Amino acid sequence: MYTLSQLQERRSVRSYTAEPIPDAVRRSLNADISELNSHLHGLRLQIVYGDDTPFRGRMGSYGMFAGVGNYVAAVIDTGVQFSAERAGYGCQQIVMDAVTHGLGTCFVGGTFSAQAIPVQVRAGEKIEFIVTLGYAAEKTRTMARLMAGIAHRKKMGGRDFFDAGRSAVSYDEAVKRYPLLAPALDAVSCAPSAMNRRPERFYLDSEGTVRAFVKDYTGLNPVDLGIAKYNFAQLLPGEWDFGNDTPFLPFEE
């Protein structure tokens, strides 16, 4: 479980130093991967240390990423329902483990070259995205903070992720019923999302059950939904079903 301030501390890092990830941190990340692969159906996450293949050549020339040397490849079984969403959920756990160990991370959905990545991709599987891992280059870290401050964070608060139209009760009523809903939605507001689109929304149905959805369950939206569900459950402990409009079961009422 992570606190709101830990979740807020995370920023996408796109420029890395050559410092290797120490063995103790690798052990922790490797353990996360084995646990996630055995519990989340349709995932075969693989971690690669000391390799820059995804950003070499044509893709590397976009120049958005520098010094990437380690990453998790989110290999999913495309025949398993909700595997992309599970990958988002699971990889946000790895991201938070990495962040608490002082590493920088970034989900990368588009700007990497999937060919020649040294991971095993079987028939029916694909690399849905990768997550870069490493120590942030100092300059970029300052820059990223600056950008984050100016750009998006302030524009959407937790409340903006509550869909009052779809909900049976207002945001204030919902928070009365689940006081932890407010910090849980704040946790959603600092989750990473593809192109910073933040498509995920939450509501209470007529029975008072919390549900989440993305309007269009295609492309990287399911990944964003999975990430958001992970952040949500750090502040309001409980269990999510995967898929659109599925229920959230809090551990305690």
Ligand X SMILES: Cc1cc2nc3c(=O)[nH]c(=O)nc-3n(C[C@H](O)[C@H](O)[C@H](O)COP(=O)(O)O)c2cc1C
Query: Stretches 23-31, 134-142, 167-175, 192-200: which one binds ligand X (CB under 6 A)?
Result: 192-200
Rule CB under 6 A: choose which of 137, 194, 225, 233 binds ligand X. 194
79 in contact with ligand X (CB under 6 A): no
Taking residues 224 to 253 in sequence order and writing x for each that binds ligand X by CB under 6 A, - otherwise, the string is x--x--------------------------
Burial of 8 (0-12, 13-18, 19+ CB in 10 A): middle
Residues 6+ apart with CB under 8 A from 36: 43, 45, 90, 93, 94
- Check residue 202 for interaction with ligand X (CB under 6 A): no
- Which residue among 28, 111, 209, 244 contacts ligand X (CB under 6 A)? 111
Question: Cβ atoms within 10 A of the Cβ of 181, count?
Answer: 23
| φ/ψ (deg, to 5) at 128 | -75, -40
Minimum CB separation from ligand X for residue 11, in Å? 4
Secondary structure percentages of the chain, helix, strand, coil, to 5: 40, 20, 40
Count of all residues that appear for the chain in the document: 253
Q: Angle, to 10 degrees, between the axis of helix 23-39 and the axis of helix 83-100?
A: 160
193 is a site residue for ligand X (CB under 6 A): yes
Q: Structure tokens of 204?
A: 């209470």
**Of 109, 238, 243, 247, which one interacts with ligand X (CB under 6 A)?**
109
Residue of 11, 201, 211, 229 interacting with ligand X (CB under 6 A) = 11
Do the beta carbons of residue 120 and residue 46 sit within 8 Å? Answer: yes
Nearer to ligand X, 63 or 165 (CB): 63
CB of 207 to ligand X, least distance (A): 31
Residues that bind ligand X (CB under 6 A): 11-12, 14, 64, 106-111, 129, 148, 192-196, 220, 223-224, 227
